[in-house]
């Protein structure tokens, strides 16, 4: 298998799932500190000390050790997020928190030491809690100004240290989980289409504004949007299923089209019209949207099937959104259907549509791992299933590049070090090349152990993907 010489190999994490130190050095609470059960139950009223994210995997105090391990695997890039509430504890503060800024200076300096490029997500499901409580998150236009101040602060502070940025993680998740995606505390069933489209509009304007500011502050900056990438197949060749799939895809393209083309496409205007939405979009907003992204990045874990009569089929499980089950696919221990070819398909569809570079910034297998009783050939977990999963996905990435001519900038596997799951807020669903001794009941030493996949991925990077089969 072949990959371009400059291909950015690496791994990805998010602050709220790994840093811990939730209230250290002046950090304010984020919505995640009030979500002890992920998306499985609503938010808590007060901080629940059983919330595993409060301590995460304590990367805040282990970052040197962790980045050294990433470097040992040969990472060219490390995708991570800045916790907004570490910089602006409430989100609407006058001044940034210097201690928070220093922490990321240290992280970026450590990356630089090993020649690792940071790829920074500005907002990864971790809106400051105060903004959720006081403004109902992105439903309020005020959030654009608070986000502007935050991104201006970090673009300026980290100029020259960071060149790759992502404005929002999985921005399309607002349709499914408005609290996680847009910091909206009002329960989803009480929200109208008008509320969701308006909040999405505020995020889209903020994203375009960040792209503009980021380019102005440093013309070397490459700024991307990011969506939850889901391949949708019609369940059958019945034209009704095909049309239902087309309708579903429009919701998927809504965010990438606006980010990559710079305007609301005609189908989006129709969608809003049909749903009775009258968007409050000023001329300045629409002008701002013209600041399109340099690259499109996305997560990919699974595909789904769409049927016009879904009740006739078994429902699939999945990452924030689901369809009906695909009878041709195997599934993970969490019921997510594994589909490497769907990744090649998705890369092709995005590239055909935009002809802009693509970046796979999340992919991986969440599985239960067992720590061996003793070290074997340098590793402590025999995770052949993870190696197989990633090998098969990377083989399809290579085909998209080599056979189809798709421009792919890089690949950062999700949870390169075990961390707390976003949807279920648990530890036992592990994605990493590095095992972290922490359990669902909160016990554990935080000690790091290499898995078999650690050496496999090191070899993948060393050979620039030649060992993928």
Q: Which residues are catalytic?
A: 362
Handedness of CA 427, 323, 81, 281 (dihedral sign): negative
With respect to ligand BG6, which residue has the nearer C-beta, 423 or 453? Answer: 423
Least Å from the CB of residue 450 to ligand BG6: 21
Are 342 and 392 within 8 A, CB to CB?
no
Residue among 446, 451, 426 nearest 436 (CA): 446
DSSP secondary structure string for all residues of 390-453: HHHHHHHHHHHHHTT---EEEEEEETSB----TTT--SSSB--SEEE---TTS-----EEEBHH
Instruction: Kindly report the number of other CB atoms within 10 A of residue 114's CB atom.
Output: 15
Are 9 and 461 within 8 A, CB to CB?
yes
Least Å from the CB of residue 429 to ligand BG6: 5
CA–CA distances in Å: residue 92 to residues 28, 47, 87, 135, 277: 11, 21, 11, 10, 29
Least Å from the CB of residue 307 to ligand BG6: 24
Helix 452-462, helix 384-402: angle, nearest 10: 20
With respect to ligand BG6, which residue has the nearer C-beta, 330 or 469? Answer: 330
Q: Which two tokens stand for residue 20?
A: 């811990």
Residues lying near ligand BG6 in the complex (CB under 6 A): 14, 17, 125, 169-170, 228, 299, 319-320, 362, 366, 414, 421-424, 429
With respect to ligand BG6, which residue has the nearer C-beta, 120 or 271? Answer: 120
- Alpha-carbon distance of 417 to 147, in angstroms, equals 28
Least Å from the CB of residue 425 to ligand BG6: 8
Least Å from the CB of residue 80 to ligand BG6: 12
With respect to ligand BG6, which residue has the nearer C-beta, 3 or 138? Answer: 138
Are 187 and 42 within 8 A, CB to CB?
yes
With respect to ligand BG6, which residue has the nearer C-beta, 424 or 440? Answer: 424
Alpha helices in 32-137 (DSSP H): 59-73, 84-87, 98-113, 129-135
Distance, C-alpha 255 to centroid of its chain: 14
Least Å from the CB of residue 109 to ligand BG6: 25
With respect to ligand BG6, which residue has the nearer C-beta, 198 or 321? Answer: 321
Closest residue by beta carbon to ligand BG6 = 423
With respect to ligand BG6, which residue has the nearer C-beta, 52 or 408? Answer: 52
- Alpha-carbon distance of 415 to 453, in angstroms, equals 13
Q: Which two tokens stand for residue 198?
A: 């308006």
Least Å from the CB of residue 301 to ligand BG6: 7
């Amino acid at each position: 298998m072949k990959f371009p010489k400059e291909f950015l190999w690496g791994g990805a994490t998010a602050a709220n799932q790994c840093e811990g130190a939730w209230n250290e050095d002046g950090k304010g609470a984020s919505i995640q500190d009030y979500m002890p059960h992920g998306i499985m139950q609503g938010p808590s009223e007060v901080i629940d000390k059983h919330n595993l994210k409060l301590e995460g995997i304590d990367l805040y105090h282990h970052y040197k050790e962790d980045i050294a391990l990433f470097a040992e695997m040969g990472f060219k890039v490390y995708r991570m997020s800045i916790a907004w509430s570490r910089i602006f504890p409430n989100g609407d503060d006058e001044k940034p928190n210097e201690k928070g800024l220093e922490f990321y200076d240290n992280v970026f300096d450590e990356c630089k030491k090993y020649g690792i490029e940071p790829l920074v997500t500005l907002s990864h499901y971790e809106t400051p809690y105060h903004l959720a409580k006081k403004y109902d998150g992105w439903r309020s236009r005020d959030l654009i100004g608070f986000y502007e101040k935050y991104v201006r602060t970090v673009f300026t502070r980290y100029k020259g240290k960071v060149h790759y940025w992502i404005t929002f993680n999985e921005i399309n998740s607002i349709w499914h989980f408005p609290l996680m995606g847009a910091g909206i505390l009002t329960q989803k069933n009480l929200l109208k289409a008008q509320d969701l489209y308006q909040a999405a509009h505020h995020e889209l304007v903020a994203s375009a504004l960040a792209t503009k500011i980021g380019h102005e502050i440093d013309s070397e900056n490459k700024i991307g949007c990011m969506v939850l990438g889901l391949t949708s197949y019609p369940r059958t060749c019945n034209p009704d299923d095909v049309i239902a799939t087309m309708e579903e895809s429009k919701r998927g393209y809504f965010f990438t089209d606006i980010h990559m083309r710079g305007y609301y496409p005609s189908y989006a205007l129709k969608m809003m019209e049909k749903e009775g939405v009258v968007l409050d979009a000023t001329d300045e907003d629409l002008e701002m949207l013209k600041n399109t992204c340099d690259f499109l990045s996305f997560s990919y874990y699974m595909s789904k099937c769409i049927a016009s009569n879904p009740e006739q089929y078994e429902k699939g499980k999945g990452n924030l959104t689901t369809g009906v089950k695909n009878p041709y696919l195997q599934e993970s221990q969490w019921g997510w259907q594994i589909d490497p070819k769907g990744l090649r398909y998705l890369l092709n569809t995005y590239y055909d549509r935009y002809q802009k570079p693509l970046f796979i910034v999340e992919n991986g297998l969440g599985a239960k791992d067992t720590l061996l009783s003793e070290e074997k050939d340098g590793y402590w977990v025999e995770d052949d299933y993870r190696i197989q999963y990633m090998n098969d996905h990377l083989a399809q990435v290579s085909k998209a590049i080599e056979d189809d001519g798709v421009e792919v900038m890089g690949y950062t596997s999700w949870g390169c070090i075990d961390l707390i799951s976003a949807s279920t807020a648990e530890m036992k669903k592990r994605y990493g090349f590095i095992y972290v001794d922490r359990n669902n009941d909160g016990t554990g030493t935080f000690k790091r152990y290499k898995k078999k996949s650690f050496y496999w991925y090191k070899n993948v990077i060393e050979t620039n993907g030649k060992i993928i089969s």
